[in-house]
Amino acid sequence: MKKIMTVFTGGTIGSKNNDGAIQVNEAGSYYLIDKYNESPMRKEVRIDTVQPLNILSENLVPDDWNTLIAALRGIDVRQYDGIIVTHGSDTLAYSAAMLSYAFARTPIPIVLVASGHPLDDPRSNGLANYAAAVDYITGEYPPGVFVIYRNDRQETVVYLGTRLYQCLPFTDQFDCPYGVPYGRMEDGRFVPDTHRLNPTAEQLRSHAAGAEAAWNEGRDWKLDSGVLYIRPYPGLDYSLYDFSKRAPKAVLHDLYHSGTASVSGQERHSLLTFAAYCREHGVDLYLCPLKDGSGALYASSVKLIEAGVTFIERMSVEAALMKLTLAYSLFGESGQMRDFVLKETVFFEHIGP
């Protein structure tokens, strides 16, 4: 009989609606297992459980990742065919990327699932997502870190852990770079998307069989929140950032869809001025996302490149932010951090050639 470890962390999938207030419930997570065992979607599997966290995911902080990663590392993967992590949808994309880096060489699938509504709500997709994760694991499909989520078109989509965008407001739907997921679950079977941007099953299996990177092997992870994330908007005033008392370790600055940000007008609204300010305070500045820096760029992007600002290419902002958080938590030298973020591919986070 197949064996699956389910790791509960809270979130809507482990919550109940109490008089209009959705809150994590002590028994809510285990209610998911009861629902699954009563469901016609049930497979004959042994399900073990552990609950290292029980929070709404909007309250998640880096120390919670430390707790979760330690719990996952405490699981003897030789005893299980796969691991399912239940999680809240608000920060699902961030945790999926972080776990992808932490367990890039996992020999068994680690599948994150969430729910748009509590399980007792008829609109909930939580049970369907969990059942699909069981189907993926019992189907002996390639190992890796994945997210499985049924969308509003009733498609059960499988995403690579480093290729998930944050859930959209209003529609509560997930997406991924170029709209190319890893595949879908259909009638209990995994159907891969054979797009050129996706790794093949052989590549995933080969990746899992590779040697663990020296930076990850046996390391006691202690993630912290030393990275500042900034999103651009018209009128962003960089003079509001004051690093004189406490400076971040690094800044990740988002870009408009064309890989641009303001570089003209008043100095306090110019990213060029802010880049100089970061250099004065010894703060590394990264810009993301950029599809491909080798092609034609807008003049504003060229000015930023000429100013020596570092672009992170071919990576989602979510994956880049988690990679920077990891790099600036674990490494001590700026060059080592930069090379890790820009040059090392940990779990298929770089998209395209």
Torsion sign across C-alpha atoms 171, 177, 93, 106: positive
Reduce the secondary structure of the chain to three states and give it as a string.
CEEEEEEECECHHHEEEECCEEEECCCHHHHHHHHHHCCCCCCCEEEEEECCCCECHHHCCHHHHHHHHHHHHCCCHHHCCEEEEECCCCCHHHHHHHHHHHCCCCCCEEEEECCCCCCCCCCCCHHHHHHHHHHHHHCCCCCEEEEEEECCCCCEEEEECCCCCCCCCCCCCCCCHHHCCCEEEECCEEEECCCCCCCCHHHHHHHHHCCCCCCCCCCCCCCCCCEEEECCCCCCCHHHCCCCCCCCCEEEEECCCCCCCCCCCCHHHCHHHHHHHHHHCCCEEEEEEECCCCCCCCHHHHHHHHCCCEEEECCCHHHHHHHHHHHHHHCCCHHHHHHHHHHCCCCCCCCCC
Q: Using alpha carbons only, give the angle 163, 168, 173 rounded to the nearest 5 degrees.
A: 75
Radius of gyration of the chain (CA): 21
The residues, ordered by sequence, that sit 6+ positions from 45 with a Cβ below 8 Å of its Cβ are 1, 2, 3, 4, 134, 138
Report yes or no: 5 and 50 within 8 Å, Cβ to Cβ.
yes
Give the model's pLDDT for residue 29: 73
Q: Report the C-alpha gap between 347 and 117 in whole angstroms.
A: 30
Instruction: Give 193-206 pLDDT, tens digit per residue.
Output: 999 999 999 999 99
Distance CA 56, CA 91 (A): 9
Low-confidence ranges of the chain (pLDDT < 70): 15-28, 218-219, 293-297
Indicate the residue type of 107: P
Residue 41 · residue 139 · CB < 8 Å: no
Give the β-pairing of 189-192 and 227-230.
unpaired
This prediction has a pTM of 0.94
Q: What is the pLDDT of residue 296?
A: 53
Helix 299-306 × helix 271-280 angle, to 10° = 20
- Identify the structural domains of the chain with CATH numbers, from first to last: 2-209 (3.40.50.1170), 227-343 (3.40.50.40)
- Predicted confidence (pLDDT) per residue in 222-264, tens digit: 999 899 999 999 999 999 999 999 999 999 999 999 888 999 8
What does the pLDDT read at residue 302? 83
HSE (side-chain half, CA atoms, 13 Å) at 177: 25
pLDDT (0 to 100) of residue 19: 53
